[in-house]
């Protein structure tokens, strides 16, 4: 909790926060980092293997191979999500499955499955981007800002 927020607490609440904090088990951050590194790395290694596969057996080069590789990873992520075990892998992997493209696919697929009961339009359509939405909004916006900065630097004579 931020210090700013803590200031709003009464002394009694503050005292309890410390009392409770000493009794709440902490998330194993270091172990989670190792697990995330290994599973995230494994997913990337699979991606690299797919890259090689598409470049060797199909007509793709370094620039174009990203699309079929992402498509396969996304497909696998959605498949695992719909079969109901992606969330179990994620409980182990944490950021390892959340950061790669598989995590993004999972946010959309899981929300779509969840809200199927409210119909295809308002349920699936309306809720599909519930978790992925902010990522898209701020991803696109920050890309726009970065592009703008680059253009300005170029216009000023570049580096």
* 38/33 Cα distance (integer angstroms): 9
| 16 lines the binding site for another protein (CB under 8 A) | yes
Q: Of 45-53, 55-63, 111-119, 133-141, which segment contacts another protein by CB under 8 A?
A: 111-119
| 107 lines the binding site for another protein (CB under 8 A) | yes
3-state secondary structure 59-128: CCCCCCCHHHHHHHHHHHHHHHHHHCCHHHHHHHHCHHHHCCHHHHHHHHHHHHHHHHHHCHHHHHHHHC
- Among the listed residues 104, 159, 110, the one whose alpha carbon sits nearest the alpha carbon of residue 133: 104
Element (H, E) at 116: none
* Among 27, 121, 152, 156, contact with another protein (rule: CB under 8 A): 27
Site for another protein in 116-145 (CB under 8 A): 117, 130-131
Please answer whether residues 24 and 78 qualify as being in contact, where contact means their C-beta atoms are separated by less than 8 angstroms.
no
Question: CB of residue 41 vs another protein: minimum separation in angstroms?
Answer: 17
The residue count for binding another protein (CB under 8 A) is: 43
Cβ proximity to another protein, 1 vs 156, nearer residue: 1
Q: Of 49-57, 80-88, 135-143, 149-157, which segment contacts another protein by CB under 8 A?
A: 80-88
64: tokens are 């174009």
* Among 40, 65, 97, 100, contact with another protein (rule: CB under 8 A): 97
137: tokens are 């909004």
| 19 lines the binding site for another protein (CB under 8 A) | yes
Alpha-carbon torsion (46, 104, 108, 52), positive or negative? negative
Binding site for another protein (CB under 8 A): 1, 5, 9-10, 12-14, 16-17, 19-20, 23-28, 32, 81-82, 84, 86-87, 89-91, 93-95, 97-98, 103, 106-107, 109-111, 113-115, 117, 130-131
């Amino acid at each position: 909790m931020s210090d700013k927020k803590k200031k709003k607490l009464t002394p009694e609440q503050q005292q309890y926060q410390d009392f409770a904090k000493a009794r709440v088990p902490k998330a194993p951050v270091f172990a989670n980092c190792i697990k995330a590194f290994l599973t995230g790395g494994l997913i990337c290694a699979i991606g690299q293997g797919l890259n090689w596969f598409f470049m060797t057996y199909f007509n793709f080069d370094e620039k174009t191979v990203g699309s079929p590789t992402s498509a396969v990873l996304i497909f696998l992520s959605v498949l695992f999500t719909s079969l109901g075990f992606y969330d179990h892998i994620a409980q182990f992997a944490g950021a390892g499955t959340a950061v790669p493209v598989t995590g993004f696919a999972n946010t959309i697929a899981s929300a779509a499955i969840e809200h199927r009961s409210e119909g295809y339009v308002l349920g699936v359509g309306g809720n599909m981007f519930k978790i992925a939405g902010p990522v898209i909004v701020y991803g696109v916006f920050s890309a726009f800002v970065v592009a703008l900065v680059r253009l300005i630097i170029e216009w000023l004579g570049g580096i």
